[in-house]
Amino acid sequence: MTMPTPLCPWRMQVHHITQETPDVWTLALLCHDQYRWRAGQYALVSINNSPDILRAYTISATPGISPFITLTVRRIDDGVGSGWLTQQVKRGDYLWLSDAQGDFTCDTEANDRFLLLAAGCGVTPIMSMRRWLAKHRPAADVAVIYNVRTPQDVIFADEWRDYPVTLMAEQQATLGFIEGRITPEILAAVPDIAARTVMVCGPAPYMDAVEQHVKALGVTRFHKEKFFTPVAAPVASGLKFTTLSPAREFYGPVGTTLLEALESNKVAVNAACRAGVCGSCKTRVLSGEYTTTSTMTLTEREVADGYVLACSCHPQSDLVLA
């Protein structure tokens, strides 16, 4: 089987698939080479073994502990990646993954007091790190708060019995669940919260609310991992973007990234890692001023020809795009 893209050089075979909730599945993968990752990191997956469709998923397994490399995926309506992984991939099939990426990890934290917070599928890196802390820092003081829609939506439900966890359900809360969403009062009840390293993963509004609340409580060590990137509403003024093929004009607010401007105006663009690593959002700028925070995967020739990674391109003026 031929590698679909150099960005995803690791071939892995599906050993088994476990349904976690009505719309979440875990794919357990075997890699016959020594694949290295850190608890909390993610990998790009070549969807349908295509070189052009890459999606980022957290590695929910924990290095040195889990017998398989696992991806835990929520099926999204019309989701190209999640639809393929949860509905079409079967035992024995092969997937191609990138190197592990991301710095949302706990293994470099000197502090031994943690508060781990998750909502929905944002629990995947949190569980990976919780296992790692239990194995490598058994004396660490680790508090976990996990938000779900209903009790039936708890991912890794059986495994959570091994760890202290506060479970919250927005609806149909049953015995063992706090009803509702995270609040400042619930966070304030965490012992010594200001002394803890707080790590959070989930939908952007949830993470923004948590960040505001914990910092108001004195937390200074705070880390978050974006589980998805919301698409901003289009605007009618600001920086002007012109595409030549097809010919089109649209606007983005000052301070936007090129990727955000493209997506908010429904301009087709591949985007996987959104961190300037995978190279899938490569776009050519023909004219205009901009700065970049990453040129990883771009050659010197491509940079000279105006190619940028849209997620890492910060327009400083109107831009004309190829």
Angle (nearest 5°) at CA 229 between 225 and 232: 140
Cα gap 141→20, rounded to integer Å: 27
Percent of residues, the chain, with pLDDT higher than 90:
79
Closest CA to 257 of 239, 244, 272: 239
Angle (nearest 5°) at CA 277 between 275 and 279: 110
Confidence band (pLDDT; 50, 70, 90) for 228?
A: low
What strands, in cross-sheet order, belong to the sheet with 166-169? 177-179, 166-169, 141-148, 113-119, 197-202, 221-226
Confidence band (pLDDT; 50, 70, 90) for 273?
A: confident
Cβ 100 vs Cβ 57: under 8 Å: no
Per-chain mean pLDDT for the chain:
93
Could you report the per-residue pLDDT of 8-31, keeping only the tens digit for each?
A: 999 999 999 999 999 999 999 999
Q: What residue ranges do the domains of the chain occupy?
A: 10-97, 113-226, 239-321
Confidence band (pLDDT; 50, 70, 90) for 227?
A: low
Confidence band (pLDDT; 50, 70, 90) for 230?
A: low
The pLDDT, as a whole number, for residue 289 is 97
Higher pLDDT, 280 or 71: 71
Cα gap 14→25, rounded to integer Å: 13
Could you report the per-residue pLDDT of 109-138, keeping only the tens digit for each?
A: 999 999 999 999 999 999 999 999 999 999
The pLDDT, as a whole number, for residue 134 is 97
Could you report the per-residue pLDDT of 206-216, keeping only the tens digit for each?
A: 999 999 999 99
The string of DSSP codes covering 141-194 is EEEEEEEESSGGG-TTTTGGGGS--EEEESSS--TTEEES---HHHHHTSTTGG
SS3 111: coil
pLDDT surpassing 90 at residue 270: no
The strand pair at 290-292 and 313-315 is best described as antiparallel
Domain 113-226 has CATH 3.40.50.80: yes
Confidence band (pLDDT; 50, 70, 90) for 51?
A: confident
pLDDT surpassing 90 at residue 280: no
Q: Which of 80-94, 158-172, 194-208, 224-238 has the lowest mean pLDDT?
A: 224-238
10-97 — its CATH code?
2.40.30.10
Domain 239-321 has CATH 3.40.50.1820: no
Could you report the per-residue pLDDT of 58-86, keeping only the tens digit for each?
A: 999 999 999 999 999 999 888 889 999 99
Cβ neighbours of residue 246 closer than 8 Å, sequence gap 6 or more: none
